[in-house]
Amino acid sequence: MITVDTVAALREQVSRLRQSGKRIAFVPTMGNLHAGHVHLMQEARRYASAVVASIYVNPLQFGQGEDFDSYPRTPSHDKVVLLSAGVDVLFKPAESEMYPRGKAVQTFVEVPGLSDDLCGAFRPGHFRGVTTAVNRLMNLVTPDVAVFGKKDYQQWLLIRLMTADLGLPVEIVGVDTVREPDGLALSSRNNYLSPEERQVAPRLYEALARLRDRVQREGMHLAAAEENAVIDLQADGFRPDYVKVRRQSDLQLPAAEDHRLVVLAAAWLGKTRLIDNVEFELKS
């Protein structure tokens, strides 16, 4: 694996891959890598003959009082993980490489509407920071395909919309959530959980699965199912930001004829904010 930390060096390595006839897949990360990231890189290898990964903790997607300074940074561990995953090139830029004029005057890329809904309503500016960074990274890497986990379903969909709107020649692939044996979605922020909270955390996924079953099997109205899920989570000690059922294709409110749905949730457990989602389909 070749590690580069400048735009010039990245472009040189990408050029070499292109000259050797390689199709390139890109996996952007913020580091502190776990088995979910490894799965993304393995999936990337299915779509391309070379894999470029990035590690960059993007300040633009953290709001005031959020965990930018304390976000876990584990470079030695990450290098081992990336080597084991067979990554060809790692891009680890400094802020001056990502935002050479400074992040305060960086040109922003934003998907209107959806960026301010769901998680965006509770983290103002978060998704603008995500799409700005991902757009810049994809313009630097120029991949044929980019791979994202669907654990953050809203982020994955926003990146798909951004890519289509800007006409970027990149295929966006979504990969299903990787979970612990007890159902907890893998996340770097799981490290924030205390041992006691870690025992409770899988109940977020259980609550979403129950909502799915109540709607699919029992025909419960969506609003009632959402309310019941919030009550379930509160009883388990969570502080839900939201539990919402939306249309899979665009995360808009489902109409009567919509059958492909997803329930999304964000909830606090102690000082840790967890997100998860479950896709499901109604019978015609």
d(CA 156, CA 172): 8
CA 205 to chain centre: 17
- 239-247: strand order across its sheet: 239-247, 260-269, 272-281
Ordered structural domains, the chain, with CATH: 2-175 (3.40.50.620), 188-279 (3.30.1300.10)
The strands making up 171-175's β-sheet, listed across from edge to edge, are 2-4, 89-91, 50-55, 24-29, 145-149, 171-175
**Using one digit for the tens of pLDDT, what is the confidence trace for 107-124?**
999 999 999 999 999 999
SS3 content of the chain, % helix, strand, coil (to 5): 45, 20, 35
Q: What is the pLDDT of residue 283?
A: 83
pLDDT tens digits, residue range 57-78? 999 999 999 999 999 999 999 9
CA pair distance 12, 248, nearest whole angstrom: 39
Catalytic residues: 37
Does 153 have pLDDT greater than 80? yes
Output the CA angle 216-148-203, nearest 5 degrees: 45
Q: What is the average pLDDT value for the chain, to the nearest integer?
A: 97
CB 27 within 8 A of CB 41: yes
Residue 284 confidence (pLDDT) above 80: no
| In the predicted structure, residue 219 carries a pLDDT above the cut 90 | no
Question: In b/e form, how buried is each residue of 1-16, taking b as 16+ CB within 10 angstroms?
Answer: eebbeeeebbeebbee
**Residue 118 Ramachandran class (φ > 0 left, ψ -120 to 50 alpha, else beta):** left
The residue-averaged pLDDT of 77-92 equals 97
Q: Does residue 226 surpass a pLDDT of 90? A: yes
